[in-house]
Structure 1
């Protein structure tokens, strides 16, 4: 059996099969290391800071809140658009209530979401589009719907996604993030959900790449050993 011949042939064909994926691994890996995660996360585009709560303020007590939202399971006092509000949760559903008047604010109207987006957006661009979303696009596939999408007319095509119940910023998306997500799909070879790093296709490709590397190392060792022989 001519072992070097078969190792060379296997190495060549494995290289043809795995070469494209290896190139995608390197290109995607280079992109991921060249751009910091802080930029990818978009913290520079939208920053949430509602300020401290008022030290002295007349607020509704628990008994009064129970009349507005009977059976609520948890509560959180926070600021929203400059006013104090309670976030009441019951059965997985959140409701915003004005902490002073008791007025129910949820679901938030388009004008309130626009004001919220302008408040936390760190750029200078104007809002291009505001969309009510009932079916989440790929870039926010795991976020709960419905939600509001506010798109800004900037170079990054920034989109901010908000909860209509709490006004919380659910996600920041921009072109650098979208490229990251696109390359991540190729990097982990999950072309469906883009989050499964333990899929069988990746296992096969990684195993094949290992065989390619080991066969190449063996050929290098064999070549030097053969030259060293008199």
Structure 2
């Protein structure tokens, strides 16, 4: 059996099969290391600050709140667009009520979401579009729907996603993030959800890549040994 011949042939065909994927691994890896993760996360696009609460004055106490909105399991007092609100959680759902009157505020209307987006957005661009979303796009597939999407007319095509129930910022998305997500799909070879780093296709590709490296190492060792014997 001519072992070097079969190792060379195996190494060549593995290289043809795995070469494109190896190139994608390298390209995506370079992008992920060159672009700061803080930039990818979009921390520069929107800053969320907890507004200070008033020390006292006119808000409902817990007993009054329980009479007006019975059945809540937990609550949180916070400020939203300059107004004190209670965030109530009951039966797995969250809603906002006015901390002074007890009036239900959720779901927040378009006007308040626009005001919220302008308040936290750090750029100079104007809002291009505001969309009510009931089916989450791929870039926010894990976020709960419905949600509001506020798109800005900037170079990065920035989009801020908000919860209509709490007014919370759910996600920041922009073109650098979208490129990262696209390359991440090729990097982990999960072409569906783009989240499974232990999928079978990646394991097979990694195993084949290891075989390619080992066969190449063997050929290098074999060639040096032949030269030494010559």
* Deviations, residues 38-80 of structure 1 (Å, cap 9, x unaligned): 0000010011013221223332111111122211000011110
Q: Is the 8 A contact 1:125 1:152 kept in 2?
A: yes
Q: Calculate the TM-score normalised by the size of structure 2.
A: 0.98
Q: Which residue of 2 aligns with 1:104?
A: 104
Is structure 2 residue 138 aligned with structure 1 residue 156?
Answer: no
Q: Which residue of 2 aligns with 1:147?
A: 147
Question: Equivalents in 1 of 2:57, 2:162: separation in Å?
Answer: 28
Q: Which residue of 2 aligns with 1:195?
A: 195
Question: Equivalents in 2 of 1:92, 1:84: separation in Å?
Answer: 22
Q: Which residue of 1 aligns with 2:42?
A: 42
Q: Which residue of 1 aligns with 2:86?
A: 86
Q: Is the 8 A contact 1:150 1:161 kept in 2?
A: yes
Q: Is the 8 A contact 1:50 1:82 kept in 2?
A: no
Q: Which residue of 1 aligns with 2:220?
A: 220
Q: Is the 8 A contact 1:73 1:90 kept in 2?
A: yes
Dislocated runs of 4+, deviation >6 Å = none
Unaligned segments of structure 2, at least 5 residues: none
Q: Is the 8 A contact 1:79 1:85 kept in 2?
A: yes
Question: Equivalents in 1 of 2:50, 2:124: separation in Å?
Answer: 20
Q: Which residue of 2 aligns with 1:15?
A: 15
Q: Is the 8 A contact 2:159 2:174 kept in 1?
A: yes
- Specify the SS of the correspondent of 2:197: coil
Question: Equivalents in 2 of 1:144, 1:173: separation in Å?
Answer: 16
Q: Which residue of 2 aligns with 1:67?
A: 67
- 163-172 vs 96-105, which deviates more? 96-105
Count of equivalent residues: 230
* Deviations, residues 14-40 of structure 1 (Å, cap 9, x unaligned): 000000000000000000000111000
Unaligned segments of structure 1, at least 5 residues: none
Q: Calculate the TM-score normalised by the size of structure 1.
A: 0.98
Question: Equivalents in 2 of 1:183, 1:69: separation in Å?
Answer: 47
Question: Equivalents in 1 of 2:145, 2:169: separation in Å?
Answer: 13
Question: Equivalents in 1 of 2:13, 2:77: separation in Å?
Answer: 63
- Aligned-pair distance for 1:173? 0.3
Question: Equivalents in 1 of 2:38, 2:67: separation in Å?
Answer: 43
Q: Is the 8 A contact 2:18 2:209 kept in 1?
A: yes
Question: Equivalents in 1 of 2:67, 2:196: separation in Å?
Answer: 45
